[in-house]
Chain A
């Protein structure tokens, strides 16, 4: 019983990481119809911000997290303004190829500066080790992840439903053309949403470095997970993304724990079945 609870908990912690990593992609994909595989590269960037800030500059872990958010957000804003905006409205395949090309370039650039090996990560002592909670022995770092993920999910849902900017985002998702005709600066809304989404990906990259490790192949390794979360959850629904991320996290951890010999088989099969059954995702709306 205790192991089931621990596996479940570890899965939820992993799912929270996947949620933070992919929520930006889900929103921008729904909003601009833009398939941005390079979203995974912004996560990697966040991971390397953490490495530089904590290892080379010697600043505390908690300082590196907002920095990862800001730098990855700025980077995605720059890429959106200089490249992506010329590709809105092109077909899926063109966007897939463009952003795949960017992933390849980002891998090479990171390898050029930091080499191809895994980076050493250290987190503060209050986040290491284990803690007894209600008779379960849980890792502190994973507890931290669950708390951060839950807080962010609440903030995002609240922000999207209750704030003025959230209303603008929803208007753009529902019908960008009408929103623009009503005087909404859709370009600005797109750019800011993109920056926030990229920033969250960067934050997730920094948070995941300790758990998943960080090396130049990070984007290709987690790209598939991102795509699964977004397509299974359905585009542009924060709850859908959260549910899909938690499901995937638990399924992946449980699969690796109870049946390591079949590995990724379970999650890939579920993905294919969900896509055949509901092409717009579990909670997605019809296009």
Chain B
């Protein structure tokens, strides 16, 4: 079997090279994070939604470590999100209610499983790689879904308790603490990711640990976790978010998450059925015309304008 034309390889720049040439922070990066903090101070802001956006951004960023740094696509990244989510859920349910240490434990667990997975998939590539990651995700989903005695099945894990952050800030119904907590954790992990350069197995472990942290954050801030957190749908969603935003930039993940969740929130009010149509169309248009994604496309545009 042979491809008709040579595959395109130069569309995605590895993120480590990108950030190596960007050792100092640009004004855009500072503005980006300042804007996220600024959202908190807007009166009547929909903080629960913004919190979700930050968490999904972190999740998509963890996938970017694989896809953007090493060119490893995964159809099963939600597995690690789910592992982190359930680990944080069980800790909270059985008395370990301190959030930050709970997050670290959940994230480490996802990282260890990610490291093992990384070793397993080291030699496969292409379709086989997509199938293995998808298969592992489905196995995990199946187990969690069927062991309803342990996991609560479709109803999810109930009775998760999370203590106030640092013993001071209670998770309130307006999502204020949740937003700042998610943002702070995400920022710390972003700094780590920005400085990263590792081989395949380690990157897989780190990406898994970050995905686990995102899952744990979602569980802790909503005090709920269900099998949808590790469904194939979620693996597909996170891939869509990253591709929309653009790979190899880390920021693409957040831009994608913002667009995706904002659109979903808005369209879903009209009708959840149409949501599928629009996200499908968006995906097709993205890969047809902006294969690089939003952030890299914008950069090219800005670069061109500057040169004039």
Contact = CB atoms under 8 A, between A and B. Distances in A.
Given A104-B280, A105-B277, A90 B120 contact: no
B3 interface: yes
Nearest to B121: A276
Interface stretch (A62-70, A91-99, A139-147, A240-248): A91-99
B90 to A, nearest CB: 21
A260 to B, nearest CB: 9
A104 B277 contact: yes
B240 to A, nearest CB: 7
Contact of B128 (A88, A101, A275): A275
Nearest to A180: B4
A133 interface: no
Contacts of B276: 104-105, 107-108, 111
A269 to B, nearest CB: 6
Interface in A252-277: 261-265, 268-269, 271-272, 275-276
Interface residues of B, number: 51
B239 to A, nearest CB: 7
A249 B126 CA distance: 25
B134 interface: yes
A230 B48 CA distance: 42
Contacts of B277: 104-105, 108-109, 112
A248 to B, nearest CB: 13
A272 B273 contact: no
B143 to A, nearest CB: 7
Contacts of A173: 1
Given A86-B288, A271-B131, A264 B138 contact: yes
Nearest to B143: A265
B124 interface: yes
A93 B77 CA distance: 14
A182 interface: no
A231 interface: yes
Interface stretch (B5-13, B170-178, B256-264): B5-13
B14 to A, nearest CB: 15
Interface in A69-87: 83, 86-87
Contacts of B9: 91
A280 B3 CA distance: 16
Interface in B110-166: 120-121, 124-128, 130-132, 134-136, 138-139, 142-143, 146
B136 A272 contact: yes
A101 B127 CA distance: 18
Interface string A41-73: 000000000000000000000000000000000
A159 interface: no
> In which size bucket is the chain A interface?
35 or more
Nearest to B136: A272
A276 B132 contact: yes
A264 to B, nearest CB: 5
A285 B1 contact: yes
B4 A88 contact: yes
B2 A98 contact: no
Contacts of B142: 262-265, 268
Contacts of A98: 283-284, 287-288
B232 interface: yes
Interface string A165-177: 0000000011111
A247 to B, nearest CB: 15
B281 A30 contact: no
B139 A272 contact: yes
B75 interface: yes
Given A90-B7, A103-B280, A272-B136, A279 B124 contact: yes
B291 interface: yes
27 contacts: A31-B1, A33-B1, A33-B4, A86-B288, A89-B6, A91-B7, A91-B8, A93-B67, A94-B287, A98-B283, A100-B280, A100-B283, A101-B279, A101-B280, A105-B280, A108-B280, A186-B4, A227-B134, A228-B135, A231-B128, A263-B146, A264-B139, A268-B139, A272-B132, A275-B135, A276-B128, A279-B128
Interface of B: 1-9, 67, 73, 75, 120-121, 124-128, 130-132, 134-136, 138-139, 142-143, 146, 232-233, 236, 239-240, 243, 273-277, 279-284, 286-288, 291
